[in-house]
Amino acid sequence: MNTNLVLIGFMGSGKSSIGKRLANRLGREFLDSDELTSSRAGKTISEIFQTEGEEHFRKLETEELRRLTGSSGIVLATGGGSILREMNRALLRTIGTVLWLHADPEILFERATRNRRRPLLEVENPRGTFRTLLESRLSLYEQTASLTIDASGLSHEQTVERIIRALEARGNEGCDTTPSSAGTV
């Protein structure tokens, strides 16, 4: 597996935890676009949302993705909304092979609301907002990813195994980034 791997997926899908383990297994560097954005801004993601608003965060997120197009040998975890901008979807596919980490919505909701680090869900009706956001994004994850990994009922370690097997089974060594060859595992 020679090219970069890019994990996309809704909040709570485990992109960062699974990404770290995956990078470890493959002997690669792990990067997280939210962490990069946050450390460059000197603020947490919640603080950026609070002080400058979501649009500004999206601008920073795009800038970060643009910088990452020059990277190699990385596993990248992205923020759940990274697929919203058309420009980002193209950037993600330029960075590497895009894997959509998906799971049962109940699991996603439970994980996404475990802590208070997700400003978009810090609202009066988090469940309703969660559902609306998820529904509006599903097709964007699908069209951006080369491969969909269903992690429902799997531990992080088992998900890593599934990803590695799926990449090997495709025999593409992580090189094909065309969404037309998408498949679900």
Quickly list H helices, the chain. Answer: 15-26, 33-41, 45-52, 54-68, 86-95, 105-112, 126-144, 156-170
Q: Output the smallest distance, CB 86 to ligand S3P, in A.
A: 16
Assigned token pair, 165:
């097997």
Burial grade of 123 (CB within 10 A; 0-12, 13-18, 19 or more): exposed
Q: Given the complex with ligand S3P, which of 38 and 177 has the nearer CB atom?
A: 38
Q: Output the smallest distance, CB 116 to ligand S3P, in A.
A: 11
Q: Given the complex with ligand S3P, which of 76 and 167 has the nearer CB atom?
A: 76
Of residues 90, 85, 108, the one with CA closest to residue 177 = 90
Q: Output the smallest distance, CB 168 to ligand S3P, in A.
A: 27
Q: Output the smallest distance, CB 120 to ligand S3P, in A.
A: 5
Q: Given the complex with ligand S3P, which of 11 and 92 has the nearer CB atom?
A: 11
Question: Using CB under 6 A as the criterion, which residues of the chain lie in contact with ligand S3P when the complex forms?
Answer: 11, 15, 34, 45, 79-81, 118-120
